[in-house]
Amino acid sequence: MNTKLLFTLLCVAVSIVAVAQKNELQTITENDLRAHLEFIAGDNMRGRDFFTETPGLDLAADYLKAQCAKMGLTPGVEGYFQNVELQAITPDPDQTVLSLKDANGNKSYQTKDIFSLGGPPKNDTISGEVVFAGYGWYNEDTKYNDTKDLDLKGKIVLVMTRTLEQAKEGSGPDMDTEMKKMSRAMMGGAKAVILVNDPMNPNPEYIESIRKYATGGSLTLKGAKSLLILPIRLIFGTEELGNKMLEGSRKTLDGLQQEIIESNSPKSFAINNLTTEINLVKSNESIVGKNVIAVVEGSDPELKKECIVFTAHYDHLGTDGEGGIYNGADDNGSGTVALLEIAEAFQSMKKKPKRSIVFAWVTGEEKGLLGSDYYSQHPVIPMENTLVDINLDMIGRSAETELDSVDVNSKSLAGPNGMYIISGRQSSELLDISDEVCEDLGLVPSDELTKAFLTRSDYYHFYKNGVPILGLSTGLHDDYHEITDELDKIDYHKMKRVTQYAFSVAYKLANQTKRLVVDKPVK
């Protein structure tokens, strides 16, 4: 064959591929995304969580299965449902109790108005002497130290919310600060930290907002061996409990806080003749979650043994117990329905891509990336033959303008053309393909959230197994994990463009002759 003819045929082949890709992109429409999302993020789904009165999570799974069957996608597992065996651990508030005992072992006070975060899956009892540690805070700059000269080993530590600086500024509490206190107490050998609202707290509902999360229980993969159990418990109590614990010392939280602020120094001490016993009672239940798995089988007899995996979690947070529903239109209704459109685009191709495309709608992301963890242990195509995971999580929102810079500690919503890509940078070739597609579609990619978010979504379980990842998001916003994450705030045009980007990258990867080069294996 002469060189001119070979060049002509090559140009024709490239043209055919480009036209095919363009045609398939047109199947991804704003109207279809909207129609799917109105169902997935509607009130009837009850927030797509476990244990809701109406099983919205199961209804969502059934909808995804029905759409896969309607499109004619090949089931990745029998009946499309990959059963994920889970263990549910739920606190029993009726039997959870804290007792205060005097020097003779007599109960002086008892309350059930407490709850805890974390701890072992079985019943747990903690008892010990008590120390009051003010805010429980250490300031590295000023060297203010609430635990200085306090013996914490084996003790139960009573602390107030916030810090001296926050109290002076009048700012509210935050969980990062409170967890740092627990870490410091743990390093000192304490058994437990009892956290109560400081009397000047401008947000007295703070602990109540945590209660809703903590008392909803937790889920783990059944038989998981990697469950981390800290040698310390974080107990949340009331201001009344704090004052009862101080009663024998003739002190009050209000008085101590005033002394700390006025003197600018700690007022910590051991509370003599007082022992606290805390009984944390929990129930255990085995339940089954569902990953929904579908496949577009590759057309090449050999290359179809390799795949690109698309993932998106379809679960969310349920209800708030007061009539509010966490519909999660963006988190992650947006990614969920984007996968339906991408699947339809690939399935509509007369000649399927050379490599297989796996679609995994995973469960339990909000409970700890559980569904993707299970899939990574039971992939439908081996992980060593998985070229890349493209994960879509919150792709439906836009700020009015692009950000000049990104602060990972604050909301980081991208503008009309912006998109965040979380990548482990395992493959420069993959990032080059990504940049090419972004340029074609007028998208402006940023990887500024990679370091902060590498363990935050379902792509993590692929990353840790050495599979290159592209985690797609348009960023965090004020409606994140709030009941205000609703349909009327979705930018469907932006959502379509990100969906088309994901399809285009996968299309290129699935059809190139050589396997994607991985130049940074994960150890």
The pLDDT tens digits of the residues spanning 152-205 come to 999 999 999 999 999 999 999 999 899 999 999 999 999 999 999 999 999 999
Tell me the pLDDT band of 521, cut-offs 50, 70 and 90. Answer: confident
Residue 15 clears pLDDT 50, i.e. is over it: no
CA-based nearest residue to 376, from 366, 391, 392, 395: 391
Cβ-based burial of 225 (10 A; exposed 0-12, middle 13-18, buried ≥19): exposed
Does the pLDDT of residue 19 top 80, yes or no? no
* Tokens, residue 147: 């635990």
| % of the chain beyond a pLDDT of 90 | 85
| Residue 215's pLDDT band (cuts 50, 70, 90) | confident
20 pLDDT above the threshold of 60 = no
What pLDDT score does 216 carry? 80
At residue 406, does pLDDT exceed 90? Answer: no
**Cα separation of 218 and 213, whole Å?**
9
pLDDT band with cut points at 50, 70 and 90 for residue 511: very high
SS (H, E, C) 403-440: CCCCCCCCCCCCCCCEEEEECCCCCHHHHHHHHHHHHH
Rounded average pLDDT over 461-476? 97
pLDDT band per the 50, 70, 90 thresholds, residue 117: confident
> At residue 3, does pLDDT exceed 70?
no
Lowest mean per-residue pLDDT among 66-75, 87-96, 157-166 = 87-96
Across the range 404-419, mean pLDDT stands at 86
Does the pLDDT value for residue 12 go beyond 90? Answer: no
d(CA 387, CA 395): 23
> pTM for the complete prediction?
0.85
CA gap 494, 30 in Å, rounded: 9
Computed over every residue of the chain, the mean pLDDT equals 93
Query: Looking at residue 523, what is its pLDDT?
Result: 59
Residue 23 confidence (pLDDT):
84
Residue 410 above 80 pLDDT? no
pLDDT at position 356 over 90 = yes
Q: Which of 501, 304, 351, 475 is nearest to 402 (CA)?
A: 475
Q: At what angle do helices 30-40 and 56-71 cross, to 10 degrees?
A: 150
CA distances from 12 to 8, 18, 202, 442, 511 (A): 6, 10, 69, 26, 16
Tell me: pLDDT of 262 over 70.
yes
Give the tens place of pLDDT for each residue, 302-340.
999 999 999 999 999 999 888 999 999 999 999 999 999
Range in 9-13, 205-209, 293-297, 484-488 with the lowest mean pLDDT? 9-13
- Write phi, then psi, for 286 (nearest 5 degrees): -90, 130
Residue 112 has pLDDT above 50, yes or no: yes
CA distance 342 to 314: 15
Written as six digits, the tokens of 312 are: 């998106």
User: What is the per-residue pLDDT for 394?
Assistant: 98
Q: What is the pLDDT of residue 225?
A: 64
d(CA 165, CA 139): 9
